[in-house]
Amino acid sequence: MKNLIRLSVVVFAFLFAAVSLTAQQKSVKKEAKSGTSTFTGYLVDKMCAMGMVKSGDAQKATEKAMKHTKSCALEEDCKASGYGLVIGAKFSKFDAAGDKMSVDYLTKSKKKDNFLVDVQGTADGETIKVAAIHDAKKGKS
């Protein structure tokens, strides 16, 4: 019986990881007209995000990013570190304009955590040059 429960947990974890990876792959969509891309992930300050993605486990990083709070993200040290997106087990840093937009977005938001967002911008190496930040559209996979 214990082996059946363990097997069920392993299968569930594997399915969750597979769904997360599929969603990750779909998170960047090219928008031909403007030359920008839409990046979907969790808005997190860099200081906290580095701890979230450190293990390389997409499921754990996503769970932690979902629980990351507005109050933490707006603390002085966290704010000073800058912002970006946690997408699976990866953190993509924003440019200076994106950092400013993140503070504005977080300050105006009524949510306390779970900041799943769509970011319009362009990738420049490891950095996203941010044009806009919005709540993620409902029903995204």
pLDDT tens digits, one per residue of 46-89? 999 999 999 999 999 999 999 999 999 999 999 999 999 999 99
pLDDT per position as a tens digit, 24-50: 444 444 444 457 899 999 999 999 999
120-127 long-range contacts, CB within 8 A, separation 24+ = 120/31, 120/34, 120/36, 120/37, 120/38, 121/36, 121/37, 121/39, 122/35, 122/36, 122/37, 123/37, 123/39, 123/92, 124/95, 126/92, 126/93, 127/92, 127/93, 127/94, 127/95
How many domains are there within the chain? 1
- 140 domain residue, yes or no: no
Please report whether residue 93 resides in a domain.
yes
Q: Which of 88, 89, 99, 90 is nearest to 130 (CA)?
A: 99
The predicted-structure confidence for 109-137, as pLDDT tens digits, reads as follows 999 999 999 999 999 888 999 999 999 98
Name the residue range of residue 22's domain: 2-135
Residue 94 lies in a domain: yes
Structural domain contains residue 83: yes
116 falls within a domain? yes
Indicate the pTM of the whole model. Answer: 0.75
Is 141 within a domain? Answer: no
**Phi-psi group of 139: left, alpha or beta (phi > 0 → left; psi -120 to 50 → alpha; rest → beta):** left
The answer to the question of residue 35 being in a domain is yes
Task: Find, among 140, 121, 128, 141, the residue nearest to 90 by Cα.
Answer: 128
